[in-house]
Structure formats: structure tokens, C-alpha cells
Amino acid sequence: MASNFLRLRKPYYVESTIICSSSSDQKLVNLSFGIDETRNQTKKRQAKEHHGRRSCLDSCCWVTGYLCTTWWLLLFLYHCCLPFTVVHEVPELMPAARLKREGLTGIHPVVLVPGIVTGGLELWEGKPCADGLFRKRLWGGGGFTQLLKRPLCWLEHLSLHNETGLDPPGIRVRPVPGLFGADYSAPGYFVWDVLVKNLAKIGYEGKNLHMAAYDWRLSFQNTEVRDRALSRLKSKIELMYRANGNKKVVVVPHSMGVAYFLHFLKWVETPPPMGGGGGLGWCAEHIKAIVNIGPSFLGVPKAVSNILSAEGKDVAYFRAMAPGVLDSGTLGLRALEHVMRVSRTWDSVVSLMPKGGETIWGNMDWSPEDEHVCDFSKKRYFRLSPSDNNVNKSNAKQVFRVKDPVKYGRIISFGKAASVLHSSQLPTAVLKEILHMSASRNFTSSCGEAWTEYDEMSRESIQKIGAADKAYTATTLFDLLRFVAPKMMNRTEAHFSHGIADNLDDPKYNHYKFWSNPLEMKLPDAPNMEIYCSYGVGIPTERSYVYKLSPSNKCKRIPYQIDTSVDGEDRSCLKSGVYFADGDESVPVLSAGFMCAKGWKGRTRFNPSGINTYVREYQSKPLTSGIKSTAHVDIMGNIALIEDILRVAAGATGEEIGGNKIYSDILRMSERINLRL
């Protein structure tokens, strides 16, 4: 006990000794301090000399790391933390508590289908560089931290085989099962968590709530080939249906999950071995409603820019702010080349390419969004009641007037002139030039090991494709991509199609490559089922791009990039090389709403049984976030959307929750599309 007491008293004893020390002792202390100070100065001098010997490369790497970390941190804080904080600091605004007090309880089982951002992936087998990561997240829920620790290893393990589209040798990455796999895409950044908590408040739990995890990198049919994901989803829906008193299931897909579940609807009816063998009445028996969140039914233009140059508006802005950082050969970084090399192994990216060609997306001189207003801060929205079927044309002209209509049909333009001049003033026969160059492709790279397929192209071919005054539409851009990314397109076009069916009764449309394209497949024979297109509006969304040749023509470089120096006039749709239209920041209104507004409305050849469809739009307001945000991912916490889902899960029909709720110009755009129904 005495020794313990002395140990506790030691600090006080030392302090009293110092205070009561003699002057000689004080001199010894000062001498000791002097020696220590000399030693410290010597260490500082040695550290300074060592610092001077550090290479320029080390300094540049640290600077680049700080820049990149700061950039992504700012993006994270802007897009993630604010919505999360708002939602969780105001629990009384969450709709489930109020609806529960009104007597609302869950009736129908709910199946959630994640998209790219919302679907977690974990490591089951890897290379030596991934030691310690067994069953750790590589994507979603904190998995992005691996990007900072070992970026090249992280990218290698997220890659698929460039020929099979399946696992590369020695690597197995699998979807994270259950609700835990998609609650958060990063620490503090909710995805499905808010909706799941609200569902739990009205009685949902494991027996009547399920997350349909799948590997979003694979083609949709390959999720069945490798993981039996479609079969497991079919079995789970059947089990939930029986375990909950034969109550039909409400399915809630998000983003790419919308196209994935569309594929499932056709797969489950199709006889084996290609399909699930459920028969023509399976959907009518098991599914009450499909509430699609942020649907990309007809694709997104940003998928084109990602394949062409691994860019979107955010990457293009960063390149403009810090020129040369992402493309630096001195640092050996070449981030975009690495990202392109990996993403071109993901078959799912091609599923997001624009569907319907020029009929849907417009040609060189026409697009459905003609006369679109780009001053989003002052745009006057109109709202239609459920009984409204058309837009008053005189009112539409007042709301949607603009001096110089944007030629959105030119999804890729090289040079600003190519994006605005009449087609008669632009070069012709672009398609023939591309096909001719494809025949004379140089497959012997002079750069050694090619980082991307661009290294297999001759400089002459690159110059011709990206020559000024060239423009590509939703039809001709496929020929462009077949030339610049032949391996990817050859592999993926066996799994996906992007056209419009002439005759849906043609037996060829029984093939799985057509099942995720709503313009090349029929909805199931389920007249009592309902389909909702639920998405945000009022946010500038990427629609087309102005490109230029990259300044450097050295080996291992992406030869094309968005021309961020190109801007339009005040309140123009063109900003930093990107033309914007209405949407939810990722998916244009045209892609999200057209099928519910027109393509499936009533009995059409795409919807022969007359399934009821509803457009449910959620309007963006300035400086909103969290519970009111309508951005593509943030909308998952939007209280209006959550209330709609809860009411449908509790048994309400589309008419009972208010029918169509439209703020955008989707009806007028739909009228302008000449599609045979």
C-alpha cells in the first residue's frame, strides 16, 4: 500500500523538490536544459538537411495528396454531412411517426433494390496487396477509405475480366448481403437508412423487409450466371408473399436498380434455362407496385462522357481548377487512365447508355427539350392535377421560352461551333469515316503496355474523330464508342441493346439483351400492378458535352477531354463545357419520366395489359438538403418521397396518394417525341 501511495504522490513530490531546490541545483538544471536545447538544435539542423535532400517527387506527391483529400472532403461535406445532420436532428419531421399516429401500419412486404452508389461490395479473395481486407468493404459503407490507403490495389480488385466480364483470376469481390450492405455509402452519408428507419416505425422488420443485393458491376444476366442473384430474388419474393398472408410485395428500386429489376420482370416469366420459369402470371400474383426512385429508364448522357474520357462535370471542374494534376506523368498518378481502365471492365456502365437513339434524345437540329429554360433559380414550375392530361400550349411558351434553343441532340460536340451551328454547316459522313478508320486500326502499341485502348489508336485516327466541328448524336455515338472502346463494346453489346423495337412479338426479343430496355420489351401481364416514376426535378443535370483534344499527345493519355473554357451567355444552359437540362443532378427528366408519362401510359405496345403508371416528381428548392433534397441520392431521405412509399406499402393506390404530381416539362417533351405506341 505504501509503494502504491508513493507512486500516486510522485508528481507532487517532484514538484515540491524543484520549488525547494538550492541555487546549485538550479544551475545543474539550467545546464541540463542547455544540453537538451543543443541536442534539439542539432536534430532540427539534421532534419532540415534531410528535408533539403527530399526529392521533388516526394513534395509533389504530398501536395497532390492534400489537394485530392481536400477536394473530396469538401464534396463529402457538401453532399453528405449536411443532409445527414438535417434529417437526424429533426426526428419529429420524419413521416412515419405522424402516419403511425394516424393509424397507418405496414401491410405489404417491401423489397429494396440498390443501385451503384447504394450497393456495397466486399472482398472474399484477393492479391497479396489486399492482405487484411478479407470481408472488408471495397465499395460503400466506408470502403472508399481503401482508395486513400492503396489506390492501385483497390482499383485492381474492383476490376472485372476484360473478356468475360466476370471475376479476374485470383480475385473474388461479392455484394454485401442484407440491409447493412446499403444503409450508408460512406460514414455519415445515409442512403437507405432513413427509409428503413421509417419503415421500421410502422411495423417492418426482417420477415417483411429485404434488400436485394447484387453485384452492380456485372451485366444483369451475369449476376444470375455467377451468383444466382435473380433466382435468389425470385425465391425471396415468393417466401415473403407466403409468410405475410399472401400479401403482394412492393418493390422499391433506385437508379441502376430500376433497370436491373426491369430485367428481372422479363427474366422471371421466361422459361429456363434463360429465365426463371415463373410463368406469365407470376408478376400479377406476387407484385403490388414498383416504386422506382431516380429511374434511368432511358439511360443517362453522363455514361457517354465516362466511357469516352472518364469525366463528368465534377472531374472536368477539378481539371480546370488544378490543371495537370489528374494527368500528371511526373507524379505517375494518371488517375483518369486508371479509372477508365477499371470502369471499362464494368458491363453495367453500358446499361446506362442513352436508349432510343435520335427518336428519344434528338438529332442534330431537334430535341424534346427545345425551348427549355436554364435559369433554374427563377424557373417557374407548373403543377398538374391528376385529371390534367396535356399542357396548355400558350402557357408552356410563357414558361419555357429561351432566345437560342439548345441543340441537346448533339450529345458529344468537338468545339462550341459544332454544338450550335445548323447541321448543314457541319461536316457530313462522320459515320463512314469512323468505319473506315476502324478497319485500319493499329493494334501494336508503341507505348509498351497500354493503359487504355486509346494507346492502340493511331494519332491520325484520334485527330480525325476529335476534329473541330464534329458532333455525335445518340445514334452515331455508338459507332464512336465501338471505335474508341472496342473490347468493352464487343463484350457488352451481347448483354444490352439500346434501340426501339419494331415488332415486340418478334422471337428475337425473348433474348436477355433486350430485357432492361423499356423500348424493346413488354411489361408483364399484370393489370392490377402499379408502376411509379419517382424522381427529383429542378436541378441542372448533364445533358450534352463540348469536347476538345487533350493538350498532350503523349502515350498513355486520354486524348479527349471536356472543354471547360467554353461557356454560354448569362443564364445559358452551357457552363464549363457542359449543357444542362432539368433533372435530379444525375438523370435528366426525359429519361426518368417519359415511360410513365407516355411510353407506358394506358394500353400501349410496351404495356399491353394497361398497368397504371404514375409520375411523382419532387421539386427542388434553393439551398435545400436532407429531408427536402431531391438530388439523385439525397432524395432517399426526402420526407415527401418516404411518405409516398409508406402509404403504398400500407395498401394505398396511386390515385389515393394523389395520382400524378408533375412540376417539370415532361408532358410537353413527351408530346414532341414521335414514338409509335
pLDDT in tens, 372-419: 667 655 443 333 433 444 333 333 333 333 345 789 999 999 999 999
Average pLDDT, integer, range 132-140 = 88
On whether the CB atoms of residues 667 and 384 are closer than 8 A, the answer is yes
Residue 46's pLDDT is 55
Task: Write b or e for each residue in 594-603: b if 16 or more Cβ atoms lie within 10 A of its Cβ, otherwise e.
Answer: bbbbbbbbee
Residue 557's pLDDT is 77
Residue 621's pLDDT is 73
For the chain, the domains span 85-120+176-373+405-439+452-676
Element (H, E) at 407: none
Residue 83's pLDDT is 38
At residue 187 the predicted structure's pLDDT band, cuts being 50, 70 and 90, is low
Q: How many CA atoms lie within 13 A of 308 on its CB side?
A: 31
Query: Measuring CA to CA, which residue among 634, 550, 646, 510 is closest to residue 584?
Result: 634
> Residue 366: is its pLDDT beyond 80?
yes
On whether the CB atoms of residues 497 and 517 are closer than 8 A, the answer is yes
Query: Measuring CA to CA, which residue among 673, 675, 670 is closest to residue 615?
Result: 670
> Residue 331: is its pLDDT beyond 60?
no
Q: Of residues 108, 210, 632, 644, which has the active-site annotation? A: 632
Element (H, E) at 398: helix 393-399
Least confident of 12-26, 113-127, 137-151, 262-276: 12-26
> Residue 311: is its pLDDT beyond 80?
yes
Amino acid at 519: L
Mean per-residue pLDDT over the chain, rounded: 80
All three cell numbers of 144: 472508399
At residue 368 the predicted structure's pLDDT band, cuts being 50, 70 and 90, is very high
pLDDT in tens, 208-262: 999 999 999 999 999 999 999 999 999 999 999 999 999 999 999 999 999 999 9
At residue 432 the predicted structure's pLDDT band, cuts being 50, 70 and 90, is low
Higher-pLDDT residue of 149, 665? 665
Average pLDDT, integer, range 349-369 = 96
Q: Is 372 a catalytic site residue?
A: no
Question: Helix (H, G, I), strand (E, B), or coil: what is residue 20?
Answer: coil
Question: Helix (H, G, I), strand (E, B), or coil: what is residue 300?
Answer: coil
At residue 668 the predicted structure's pLDDT band, cuts being 50, 70 and 90, is very high
> Residue 628: is its pLDDT beyond 80?
no
Residue 186's pLDDT is 53
Residue 610's pLDDT is 97
Residue 467's pLDDT is 75
Instruction: Determine what percent of the chain is predicted with pLDDT higher than 90.
Output: 55
At residue 24 the predicted structure's pLDDT band, cuts being 50, 70 and 90, is very low
Q: Is 582 a catalytic site residue?
A: no
> Residue 86: is its pLDDT beyond 70?
no
> Residue 88: is its pLDDT beyond 60?
no
Element (H, E) at 89: helix 82-89
> Residue 22: is its pLDDT beyond 50?
no
At residue 445 the predicted structure's pLDDT band, cuts being 50, 70 and 90, is very low
Average pLDDT, integer, range 21-31 = 44
Q: Is 584 a catalytic site residue?
A: yes
Question: Helix (H, G, I), strand (E, B), or coil: what is residue 34?
Answer: helix
Query: Measuring CA to CA, which residue among 94, 97, 109 is closest to residue 640?
Result: 94
Which residues touch 218 (CB under 8 Å, ≥6 apart)? 160, 165, 166, 226, 347, 348
Least confident of 167-171, 371-375, 379-383, 509-513: 379-383
Higher-pLDDT residue of 396, 103? 103
Classify burial at 506, counting beta carbons within 10 Å of its beta carbon; exposed 0-12, middle 13-18, buried 19 or more: exposed
Q: Of residues 159, 219, 255, 664, which has the active-site annotation? A: 255
Higher-pLDDT residue of 44, 225? 225
At residue 622 the predicted structure's pLDDT band, cuts being 50, 70 and 90, is low
Q: Of residues 193, 215, 582, 584, which has the active-site annotation? A: 584
Higher-pLDDT residue of 509, 57? 509
Amino acid at 156: E
All three cell numbers of 470: 464534329
Q: How far apart are CA 613 and CA 611, in angstroms?
A: 6
CA torsion sign for 540, 545, 546, 547 is positive
On whether the CB atoms of residues 203 and 104 are closer than 8 A, the answer is no
All three cell numbers of 123: 472482398
> Residue 60: is its pLDDT beyond 90?
no
Average pLDDT, integer, range 268-287 = 97
Higher-pLDDT residue of 534, 4? 534
All three cell numbers of 572: 445559358
pTM of the model: 0.82
Longest dimension (CA), the chain: 106
At residue 183 the predicted structure's pLDDT band, cuts being 50, 70 and 90, is low
> Residue 99: is its pLDDT beyond 70?
yes
Q: 643: how many CB neighbours lie within 10 A of its CB?
A: 18
**Which of 6-10, 137-141, 637-641 has maximum average pLDDT?**
637-641
Residue 452's pLDDT is 73
